[in-house]
Amino acid sequence: MNASPLFRTALLTALAGLIVLALAAASAADRTVLLREDFATLDAWRPLTFPKIKAHSRYTVETRGRETILRAESSASASGLLLRREFNVYQYPKLRWRWTVGNVYARGDQEGKTGDDYPIRIYVVFRYDPEKASALDRATYGIARALYGEYPPHSTLNYVWASREDTPSLFTSPYTDRARMIALEKGPRFAGQWREESADILRDYRRAFGTDPPAQASLGIMNDSDNTGEASVSWVDFIEVFRDGP
């Protein structure tokens, strides 16, 4: 007996689903994951605050069903979370995460300091190494360490959800040329929807700075609105640091 069209359609749909699952499993097997953060707690992170900014953003663990996610909330405020653990970007150069925003900023604008806010960013913080620095950098970073108790980062790569749809995909922070911004999402179109992102740290750093990055780095998360004076809530589902291959 010939199968009905409905049966054949159901069979093909089931087979397609199995193929997708098999490809996903094969892809996962090709990754070596150094760390995965699912935000069951915030024990792996420390607060990151900035001089002269008294209003701090709020980071909490939110439970949705059986899952935990990070909730990041700002209101004319700025502060972040910094991963306590460092990793070697040459050994583990890949990132993957999932995020969403409740809203973007009406006054968000990458071209000036007054609009330099993002409802969510995941950034890679590269450690300053005094042994590899120039004499001028050693003097500058030495002063900063004396003032704030630790060295500032050598440089940062910031993966941002930009407020404006016409934001360039790659640009320099208006505050420092040691920070490069990569806009992976732009505008309000996907606000309220989960978006999965991936990044190649080595490729992106070389494209952004034109040179190789320092080896040791950590991760940061931030929702800031101190410049625009606005407010937003955003969420991060997970973050992975990994490398391809066995």
Work out the percent of the chain whose per-residue pLDDT is above 90.
Answer: 74
Of 214, 20, 62, 193, the closest CA to residue 132 belongs to: 214
Q: Which residues pair with 11 in a beta bridge?
A: none
**Count of Cβ atoms closer than 10 Å to residue 218 Cβ:** 19
Query: Is residue 2 over pLDDT 70?
Result: no
What confidence tier does 64 reach under pLDDT thresholds 50, 70, 90? very high
Amino acid at the residue 36:
R
Q: Write the pLDDT tens digit of every residue in 31-59.
A: 899 999 999 999 999 999 998 899 999 99
Q: Write the pLDDT tens digit of every residue in 90-146.
A: 999 999 999 999 999 999 999 999 999 999 999 999 997 666 656 656 655 555 454
User: 147 versus 230: which is more confidently predicted?
Assistant: 230
Query: What is this structure's pTM?
Result: 0.83
For the residues 157-186, what does the mean pLDDT come to?
Answer: 97
Query: Is residue 4 over pLDDT 80?
Result: no
What confidence tier does 83 reach under pLDDT thresholds 50, 70, 90? very high
What confidence tier does 159 reach under pLDDT thresholds 50, 70, 90? very high
> Could you give the residue ranges of the DSSP H alpha helices within 71-130?
none
> Residues 121, 182: contact at Cβ < 8 Å?
no
Whole-number pLDDT of residue 22: 46
CA 148 to chain centre: 25
Whole-number pLDDT of residue 144: 47
